[in-house]
Amino acid sequence: MKVAVVGATGLVGSKMLQVLEERNFPVTELIPVASERSVGKEVVFKGKSYTVVSMMDCIKAKPAVAIFSAGGGTSLEWAPKFAEAGIRVIDNSSAWRMDPTKKLVVPEVNAHVLTAEDYIIANPNCSTIQMVVALQPLHQRYGIKRVVVSTYQSVTGTGKKAVDQLFNERKGVEGEMAYKYPIDLNVIPQIDVFLENGYTKEEMKMVKETNKIMGDESIRVTATTVRIPVIGGHSESVNVEFANDFTLDEVKSILSAAPGVVVQDDPAQQLYPMPLWAHDKDEVFVGRLRRDETQANTLNMWIVSDNLRKGAATNAIQIAEYMMQNGLL
């Protein structure tokens, strides 16, 4: 199968190549694509070098699927051109997520919505993906009424410039700033731009995407998203109010059996999810499970996942795997 990775030289694009190789996706020919300034560069996949090509050259090569991670503007311009050429696009930007004509997919939650008519499929926001993977099996059992989430997000979610800023600050080196403020030894309670309602764009993405992916507009979500000086994973404190009561033992049992979820919850052994453990893994790790003692039918949980893998690259490739297995590729 001919597979294109658009944005192949970026942080997420590089991770996509790694995940395609690890999962042994049946790539017969890789077509790495990047911006004009990167055309002609080499990327390595399965020990072989491939030359980065332009968008037009990629379309002419007719891959079966193109996995995009090149920013919203690029996706808005090029994804329709790929689709018109009969190439399925799985897009990692925010460009198509809330388009009512496009599917927003987390395979463990709603892969069943995909059809042969879908040529542009949206990959959700990283912080939304890990939350809905953990919430969906609980929603099916107890019915979620309201979610209050606070995130603690890795600098890798911003990109290489932010990673460089963090390490420059640790070394005491002057350098380019990805953020308005220092990130080392600091916490920045802003991810993306502020909107008129006082929330950031990232916070409202979590609200709207959760409703769309879970197929339930009645779930009320409120979010606070925060950048922290960590590499290798996003963490989330999630407070969930259910329509029906639960037992902690049953919650643990449901989550333990849920696809893509690993329960790490043993206070006696100080065992709980951390980015340190989640780094370079594909699962969503859940722990600190406890009742909210101030409100009926309400659970507190802590959710951690590698934002470059399950939050981006792995989820996109799982979509491609599902499509292949179901004759859509």
Question: DSSP letter at 218?
Answer: T
Q: With beta carbons less than 8 A apart as the criterion, state whether 76 and 290 touch.
A: no
For the question of residue 126 being annotated catalytic, the response is yes
Of 55, 44, 57, 121, the C-alpha closest to 88 is 121
Separation of alpha carbons 197 and 169, rounded Å: 33
Q: How many CB atoms within 10 Å of residue 254? A: 17
Separation of alpha carbons 95 and 74, rounded Å: 9
**What region does 64 belong to: left with phi over 0, alpha with psi -120 to 50, or beta?**
alpha
Separation of alpha carbons 188 and 174, rounded Å: 20
The contacts of residue 304 (CB under 8 Å, 6+ apart) are 130, 233, 234, 235, 236, 273, 274, 275, 277, 278, 284, 285
Q: With beta carbons less than 8 A apart as the criterion, state whether 137 and 242 touch.
A: no
| Active-site entry in 58, 139, 234, 279 | 234
What token pair was written down for 240?
């969930």
> 218 phi and psi, to 5 degrees?
-80, -15
Q: How many CB atoms within 10 Å of residue 277? A: 17
Distance from the first to the final alpha carbon of the chain: 9
For the question of residue 139 being annotated catalytic, the response is no
Separation of alpha carbons 250 and 187, rounded Å: 35
The contacts of residue 171 (CB under 8 Å, 6+ apart) are none
Residues involved in catalysis: 126, 234
